[in-house]
Amino acid sequence: MSIWKLVKLNFGRNIAHFGELGIGMEETSERVLSDTLFSAWVSSYAKLLGKDAATNFLKKFNSQPEPPFRLSSTFIYQGTGENTIYYLPRPLKFPPNYPIENDLDFTKAYKPLKYLPLDVWQTWYQGSGFSDSEELKAKAKNKGETNGVLNTKGTFKYSEAYKINKVPKIAVDRVTRATNIHHTGFVQYQWKANQKESDGVESLSGLYCLVRLSEPDIENTFFAVLDFLGVEGIGGERSSGAGQFKVEQTELTKAWRQIVDFKDTNHHCLISLFWQYPFPKEFLDNASYELQQRGGWLGSPVSDGRQLRRKSVQMFTEGSVFSIVPQGQLADVTPDKPEKFLDHQVYRSGISLSLPIKVQEE
């Protein structure tokens, strides 16, 4: 029986740099995708338990019917306790009762949406469906929708959950000692100081992810490694102390339990990246999806520090919708010239995690 956990990554006042393919050091994303989080977790596993243990553990992900765990991408949360708002990617299909009409204002309000608050997401895609185009247009007009994110009524706004600053840094040439100034983008999540200084700070926003564990005995190991990753940090600029976080794991709330256990479904929405080869053609029947190229530099805890590029792969993004439950695999992205890298195989996780939804029939 699978075990679902909701995991908050609380960065406190720490900054982080999450670079993505195609953007420079000056830019940073506000969240971490599932393949990056998985790779960071495996790297921490290898540091704690050794290369051979990590290699044997990875074999389980492609050699048995169900992998040890499935991991979502991270998404923004805001608030604490009962007031916490979780954002999910908007599925790339229309919800039930979506008004198919020639309404330019409504199209302008709906089409750009990237993320929905949990209650709206559940209502649209597991509940009564879409109900009021005028309300959506009013929210967009009154800045209830900001940067492709629909906000709920109240004080929370997605754009206020974090801020991105560019910090000047100096690079020194190792040979000529010449200096060069460049800027690096860092994201910082909303926080406040506790009443007692010794209690540190309270994270008012941060990142969260869902994990589905298929092997109950892996739970303690999974979170022990994740705790270690939090101390090490995730993302770039870790030598400067960036990317450190504290792990807060919780059982699913009633609302989350209703979402993952939803039965009246006709499609499935990705909340992680997804890759599979060979790819069954029937997956594309009545599907709606977007692709993203995933590449980047190799960072291995057991390599000699050489800078090599991993092979790039195209993956289905979060929000993609399929009528069949996507499973996914690990993609072998070991550099093309193995004589330059003989330490171990390099993988990128395309193992997917999805949520059941109900969409408008075409």
Q: What pLDDT does residue 302 have?
A: 45
Query: Quick check: helix, strand or coil at residue 189?
Result: strand
What pLDDT is stored for residue 199 in this prediction?
A: 64
25-37: pLDDT as tens digits: 667 889 999 999 9
What pLDDT, on a 0 to 100 scale, did the predictor assign at position 335?
78
pLDDT in tens, 306-323: 567 778 899 999 999 999
C-beta separation of 24 from 34 below 8 A: no
User: What span, in angstroms and rounded, lies between the C-alpha atoms of 141 and 136?
Assistant: 9
Q: Which residue has the tokens 């794991």?
A: 249
> What integer pLDDT is reported at residue 274 of this predicted model?
97
Q: What is the dihedral of CA 327, 328, 329, 332, to 10 degrees?
A: 180
- In the chain, the amino acid numbered 242 is A
Residue ranges of the chain whose pLDDT lies below 70: 20-26, 102, 138-147, 152-156, 182, 195-199, 296-307, 337-344, 362
Residue 249 contacts by C-beta under 8 Å, 6 or more apart in sequence? 5, 6, 7, 8, 223
User: Which pLDDT score is estimated for 340?
Assistant: 55
> For position 133, what pLDDT does the model report?
73
Q: Classify 348 in phi/psi space as left (phi over 0), alpha (psi -120 to 50) or beta.
A: beta
Q: Domain locations in the chain? A: 3-357
Helix (H), strand (E) at residue 294: strand 291-294
Match 């306790």 to its residue by tokens: 81
pLDDT tens for each residue of 178-192:
777 767 889 999 998
Chain position carrying tokens 């390099």: 346
349: which residues sit within 8 A by CB, 6+ positions away?
34, 35, 38, 39, 61, 71, 273, 328, 330, 331
